[in-house]
Amino acid sequence: MANDIEAFAHNIAALSLTEIDTAVAILWFCTCITDELEVTPRRLATLMQELSLRGEVNVSRLARNLASHKGVVKGRQSGTCKIKLTHRAELVDAYSRHLSAPIAQVDPLIVPQEVFTRTRRYLEELARQVNGTYQYGFFDGCAVLCRRLMETLLIEAFEAQGHGSVIRAGKEYLGLNDIIGVARSGQHIKLSRGMPDVLEQIKLFGDAAAHSRTHITSQRDVDDIKLAFRRIISELATLAKIEPRPE
């Protein structure tokens, strides 16, 4: 069963949490389990009431209590808050057992969190898996997923620029090698200097992990391409017009 906030709220309702602890638990769920980077105290108050965890909540009081809580920090957007990075492990220990389905805590070690959060679910999940395989040491899997994410975004870039037909044969997309060849021409999408070479580098990187009988990808291998991968992913996401969903 996928995690949902109603199930989580039902499970923590029996814990007899204080108002601030309930708010922090919901804030943790929103910012660490789902796709919200930051949440306002007003939204937390509304959620607590809608989920029947609390009656009407004084938003001003809640905002003050969140501001002074050791595990909460200000968000980038004015008036928002999020869970402090060093406090996440404590909250995972406290509340992960109350999720409807276990979720591994993943840090944005390869793909920055803000690139795909609240954009398209399949991109969010791919980015999470790239980060997760790196974090837990599955470096062959990380390499393959890096290739997949790049290929997905490259196709999305052609489609968003109105040139999807040039990378299709009938209803099927061309192979990645052919798509990179079209991208190199510069006729349909405009990549920055050196980025076509990065496309090829990431393709070969993922191919070796997926198809070589004897090659085992190491952390150093991933670290060596990490910066270039972030650059090409960011550039392709822009060309593909990947933008956050409205609140």
In a domain, 107, yes or no: no
Decide if 187 is inside a domain: yes
Is 28 contained in some domain? yes
Query: In angstroms, rounded to a whole number, what is the distance separating the alpha carbons of residues 240 and 156?
Result: 5
pTM here is 0.65
User: What is the DSSP secondary-structure string of 138-193?
Assistant: -HHHHHHHHHHHHHHHHHHHHHHTT-GGGGEETTEEPPHHHHHHHHHH-SSS-PPT
CATH number, domain at 123? 1.20.120.330
Among candidates 8, 98, 15, 9, which has minimal Cα distance to 49? 9
Q: Name the residue among 4, 86, 17, 19 with its Cα closest to residue 59.
A: 19
Q: Which domain holds residue 209?
A: 113-239
Domain count, the chain: 2
**Is 164 a domain residue?**
yes
Decide: residue 113, CB within 10 A, 0-12 exposed, 13-18 middle, 19+ buried: middle
pLDDT tens for the 247 residues of the chain, in order: 346 889 899 999 999 899 999 999 999 998 877 767 889 999 999 999 999 999 999 999 999 999 999 999 999 889 999 999 888 888 988 898 888 766 667 889 999 978 888 788 889 889 999 999 999 999 999 999 999 999 999 999 999 999 999 999 998 999 999 999 999 999 999 999 999 999 999 999 999 999 999 999 999 999 999 999 999 999 999 999 999 876 5
The pair of three-digit structure tokens given for residue 86, joined into one six-digit string: 């060093």
Q: What six digits make up the tokens of 241?
A: 């017009």
